[in-house]
Amino acid sequence: MEIKPWLADFSQSKHPFIVAGPCSAESPEQLLTIAKAVQALGITTMRAGVWKPRTRPDSFEGNGSVAFQWIAEVKKATAIRFATEVATADHVEQALKAEIDLLWIGARTTVNPFTVQEIADALRGVKIPVLVKNPINPELALWLGAIERIYKAGVEKVGAIHRGFSSYQKSRYRNQPYWQIPLSLKSQFPDLPLIADPSHIAGTRSLIQEVSQKAMDLGYDGLMIETHPDPDNALSDARQQVTPASLGKLLEELRVSNPSS
């Protein structure tokens, strides 16, 4: 497996590229605990949701911008880089001001071209990577369109995250992977790093290993895995988060074909 252009620049000690961290930034202590644990696994980039676009009202919608103060403290205490989700142009401005290292657009945002365009305008020319999750529905064109809007805004380090697709039918997974859709995305943008999000595909921690392995077998460039010190008591996505110890085991068992580093 060859490392895609900007991923090689976005220094990492692990290959494939791993982003690990909690679904939501819950407290300064939680962030620091996970940052130290994932760093000990050789992971250089941590995720943490500051704003959480929830499907139903009255769910935990994130701690909002106060979490940037916590992130700043953790960045001072460790060498970890942070990734967070942006769902509006204002989120982009706040995240850039907070010197977040990587941004992603969530599945509920990718479905809306006007919002994606507003985000793209706010991102114009940024040097940090921007990853675009697939839309919640199995619609390749919406995913392509969102990626094109980000590229057209002059962002050079663009990537895609496959987090599975909603389906009316009950399935083994929380979100159906429909692996052929991201593979057609790859054929249209051969240099675009493709990262799997086994946590949101699986929805249950016991299935994360098999989804991660499938992604590796299909030549994905990386994985984003929700990791929490106390998953059962997480404020969002409790069933699918893993402890840092389970993440370490998962990575040890992962078979990566022909890794180049």
Residue 107: name its binding partner from Mn ion, ligand PEP, none (Cβ under 5 to 8 Å by kind): ligand PEP
- Determine which residue in the list 92, 95, 100, 107 makes contact with ligand PEP, applying CB under 6 A: 107
194 binds ligand PEP (CB under 6 A): no
- CB-closest chain residue to Mn ion: 23
Based on the shown chain and the rule CB under 6 A, indicate whether residue 235 belongs to the binding site for ligand PEP: no
Question: Using the rule CB under 6 A, which residue among 133, 149, 186, 205 binds ligand PEP?
Answer: 133
* HEC sequence for the chain: CCCCHHHHHCCCCCCCEEEEECCECCCHHHHHHHHHHHHHCCCCEEECECCCCCCCCCCCCCCCCHHHHHHHHHHHHCCCEEEEECCCHHHHHHHHHCCCCEEEECHHHHCCHHHHHHHHHHHCCCCCCEEEECCCCCCHHHHHHHHHHHHHCCCCCEEEEECCECCCCCCCCCCECCCHHHHHHHHHCCCCCEEECHHHHHCCHHHHHHHHHHHHHCCCCEEEEEECCCHHHCCCCHHHCECHHHHHHHHHHCCCCCCCC
Minimum CB–partner distance for residue 107 and ligand PEP (Å): 4
Residue 156 or 239 having the CB closest to ligand PEP: 239
Which residue in 49, 129, 135, 244 binds ligand PEP (CB under 6 A)?
Answer: 49
What string marks each residue from 199 to 218 as x (binds ligand PEP by CB under 6 A) or -? Answer: -x------------------
Name which position in 16, 21, 62, 106 contacts ligand PEP (CB under 6 A): 106
Give, as ranges, the residues between 21 and 40 that touch ligand PEP (CB under 6 A): 23
Q: Which one, 174 or 186, has the nearer CB to Mn ion?
A: 174
163 binds, among ligand PEP, Mn ion, none (CB under 5 to 8 A by kind): ligand PEP
Binding site for Mn ion (CB under 5 A): 23, 237
